[in-house]
Chain A
């Protein structure tokens, strides 16, 4: 909700700046952003009472002297005789109607009404609807305006449970379904209560006699209606959060006052139907409890002083809760009010000492396997459980975000296959992935199993010993024998026939319940450790990478180390990675052969061979300055 700083400051004696007021609002728990001296407020759902200028001023009264200068009509008002019947009093326990006739419609607005539309850049509608909208902003109470000439028979309020068609004043036709609180005239819906009025009875630019409806609706009856019928409704937003049941007289008298500032009032009458005399909520004064909840030690005087700043008053042994604070019901609620006045940041912290628990959660086997897989070059992934493939016993999501993914996966391997193909498309020729996740299925109830799955394809690794080795079943068997000496694992070959890929490397996978792994795990000293410092992630390129290989022949062994240092330390913005993929020492011929692979990739453009060759030539020319080193077949000229 947008509230202009100028509309608040006009009622505050101390004249705080926008930034000072902003700090105070944060202390009170009112999150916001500021644009052009307008507070864009995001109130928590329990604070419906703050959804107005007056509501926010009530809270700011904790810090400032509030001088509300909003005049209301003070004269006696005749009782309105209106043919109205309430058939759902529990949904609408209080309702008032004001009938007002003016001599002529104003050409321009003045005072608060003018400022509201100009300061917030809001479009006007018609005179009475404009007053209604402004009053909702000023007081927090939505009202609805009927053109009195269109109300020609009995109005009935009822929570109906039958289907009905309704045309809103915004020209939208909606089919009402299930329970809806409505106003009816001649069995036709003229108003979806608390949400939006109807076309047939709304005010127009010609309306000079209005019937203003001011009601308290049970929030439970309004909640969800604006979403259900896709109607943006500020009124519903307020009714859903609860309005002040005691404000009707003041709000309608303020309506009259604003109308009288723009036109001559020709006739005026008002009636209130109160079906439920609701006593104000009282809470026992219990300073000890409040001090215990917050962890402070304040006196009764201080306690009462804090609460009185928020409009609470004392009634003997009790705190009287203001009618607009329907959210305050318990000692914990009062504690929060006191803490807000003190300021959460000003409450000193007290050292917490939790008795150490004995039973520590043991992820034993799971963490051992994770650690082991990491050391074998496997990367842990996490996949979404939503899939499009319906398997036996899979669980169906009633309301999926994407209708193509309306089932929960019954295995992890299918997700890993997708991950593998994704990385192969990014020129990765060694892919080793694993995931541990709960998997759910439905068969006479919901069943959960914690699975570990892995997938591997391509080169065993990128170092010169593993580079030419391909991942196969034997490799994986030998790997797992290192820690599970007595368990036989059934690695599955995943066929590429149905996969969208031209890659021919064998794909192997394994999926097993964590519980199904043998408890006989050989002690294993992990090499990899979680990072100590938090790594700053470098954005990755979505563009294709290219690689180039250079093989050197080194006759002078002393120069081998120098060459490695030079090559592996070479840096360029398009050079993504360098590693030694081949190494061979031929003692007989007194020669070392060493192969380097260079991976090129740019973040912002696809690289051309000219750009790559330029960098490569630079590397070659620098490396060949080392004596006793040559690139077989490479001509320096």
Chain B
């Protein structure tokens, strides 16, 4: 009688889905910042001009407030938030310093091309305490960039301009092909913004930063066209397991 080795059935490969790569990237950045001490706060996507612009020292005449840059809704009574900063404004109005908030989510601007979409995602953070300095901001930015791109990545800080921070900076990393790529914007919170939130700017100072999630995800995953993220194409999504 011949004997044979019985085999088990073929491995039953369970079909597992995937998180959306943008949500996954957002979550991992938020988790990192939460581990540093930031509290995650949430806010509405439909905002008022007061919270989206005025409180952030973005003047009435600022180009960002024009109809060609911002989506207004319901007879201009409200708008689709152009950044997640209003969430932090709401947070600062509710709590007293020291405070450290991060907020992440969808934001809207009137753009549409291979690198910009009318809807995209941001993670922004703010830390307000006594004696918060630009030197501390640099340390925080190094921590964020190193966790995203590794400790060996070369980065540079460039002076920039945002109405809600002063001094302001943009941060670039050096890509493998020798090009500087802009990664995030940051700065010390403009004392006007602190005062708008009833925080004594003589006693307290703050730092703030903001990252565009799609930009980071495009760099990390090698996606060249931002629109790929939003086609809901299973051939695309199934690559991010």
Binding site for B on A (CB under 8 A): 26-29, 31, 44-47, 219-220, 223-224, 227, 292-296, 330, 332-333, 335-336, 339-340, 344-345, 347-357, 359-361, 370, 373-386, 395-401, 408, 418-419, 422-423, 426, 428, 430-433, 438, 440, 442, 446, 448, 461-466, 527-528, 530-531, 534-541, 556-558, 560-561, 564, 579-580, 583, 585, 594
Contact B63 A426 (CB under 8 A): no
Contact B161 A47 (CB under 8 A): yes
- Nearest Cβ in chain B — how far from A551, in angstroms? 14
Which of A29, A379, A431 has a CB less than 8 Å from the CB of B18? Answer: A379
Q: A355-B37, A357-B38 are in contact. Are A347 and B138 (CB under 8 A)?
A: yes
Per-position contact with A for B142-184: 1 when CB-CB < 8 Å, else 0?
Answer: 1100000000000011111100001111000000000000000
B34 proximal to A (CB < 8 A): yes
- Nearest Cβ in chain B — how far from A374, in angstroms? 5
Mind listing 13 A-B residue pairs with CB under 8 Å?
A: A26-B156, A28-B159, A333-B166, A344-B134, A348-B138, A350-B135, A357-B39, A370-B19, A380-B19, A422-B231, A448-B44, A448-B46, A530-B24
Q: A-B pairs with CB below 8 Å: how many?
A: 285
Per-position contact with A for B116-140: 1 when CB-CB < 8 Å, else 0?
Answer: 0111000000010101011111111
Q: A350-B133, A352-B140 are in contact. Are A564 and B16 (CB under 8 A)?
A: no
Cα distance, A29 to B18, chains bound together (Å): 41
Cα distance, A396 to B71, chains bound together (Å): 10
Query: Can you name the residue of chain B whose Cβ is closest to the Cβ of A590?
Result: B4
Cα distance, A418 to B230, chains bound together (Å): 12
Q: A448-B44, A463-B14, A558-B7 are in contact. Are A354 and B38 (CB under 8 A)?
A: yes
For window 54-75 of B, CB contacts with A under 8 Å fall at: 60-61, 63, 66-68, 71-75
Across the interface, which residues of B come within 8 angstroms of A360, CB to CB? 34, 39-40
Contact B73 A349 (CB under 8 A): no
Which of B37, B73, B159 has a CB less than 8 Å from the CB of A408? Answer: B73
Which of B10, B37, B100, B167 has a CB less than 8 Å from the CB of A293? Answer: B167
Binding site for A on B (CB under 8 A): 4-7, 9-10, 12-20, 22-24, 27-28, 34, 36-42, 44-46, 60-61, 63, 66-68, 71-76, 78, 80, 98, 100, 110, 112, 117-119, 127, 129, 131, 133-140, 142-143, 156-161, 166-169, 188, 190-191, 205, 220-224, 228-241
Query: Can you name the residue of chain B whose Cβ is closest to the Cβ of A219?
Result: B61
Contact B100 A354 (CB under 8 A): yes
Contact A531 B24 (CB under 8 A): yes
Query: Can you name the residue of chain B whose Cβ is closest to the Cβ of A450?
Result: B42
Cα distance, A545 to B46, chains bound together (Å): 42
Query: Can you name the residue of chain A whose Cβ is closest to the Cβ of B240?
Result: A535
- Nearest Cβ in chain B — how far from A28, in angstroms? 7
Cα distance, A457 to B76, chains bound together (Å): 41
Contact A379 B45 (CB under 8 A): no
Contact B188 A293 (CB under 8 A): yes
- Nearest Cβ in chain A — how far from B188, in angstroms? 6
Contact B10 A583 (CB under 8 A): yes
Cα distance, A47 to B168, chains bound together (Å): 13
Contact A374 B46 (CB under 8 A): no
Query: Top 4 nearest A-B pairs by Cβ distance?
Result: A295-B135, A29-B159, A295-B133, A354-B37
Which of B17, B22, B27, B138 has a CB less than 8 Å from the CB of A373? Answer: B17
Q: A224-B61, A350-B139 are in contact. Are A330 and B9 (CB under 8 A)?
A: no
Query: Can you name the residue of chain A whose Cβ is closest to the Cβ of B117?
Result: A384
Q: A380-B17, A540-B236 are in contact. Are A395 and B73 (CB under 8 A)?
A: yes
Across the interface, which residues of A come within 8 angstroms of B61, CB to CB? 219-220, 223-224
Across the interface, which residues of B come within 8 angstroms of A382, CB to CB? 20, 22-23, 229-230, 232
Contact B139 A349 (CB under 8 A): yes
Contact B12 A464 (CB under 8 A): yes
Which of A359, A530, A583 has a CB less than 8 Å from the CB of B27? Answer: A530
Query: Can you name the residue of chain A whose Cβ is closest to the Cβ of B191?
Result: A332
Q: A361-B42, A384-B230 are in contact. Are A564 and B10 (CB under 8 A)?
A: yes
Contact B221 A361 (CB under 8 A): no
Cα distance, A376 to B17, chains bound together (Å): 7
Contact B167 A380 (CB under 8 A): no
Q: A380-B19, A384-B119, A446-B46 are in contact. Are A580 and B10 (CB under 8 A)?
A: yes
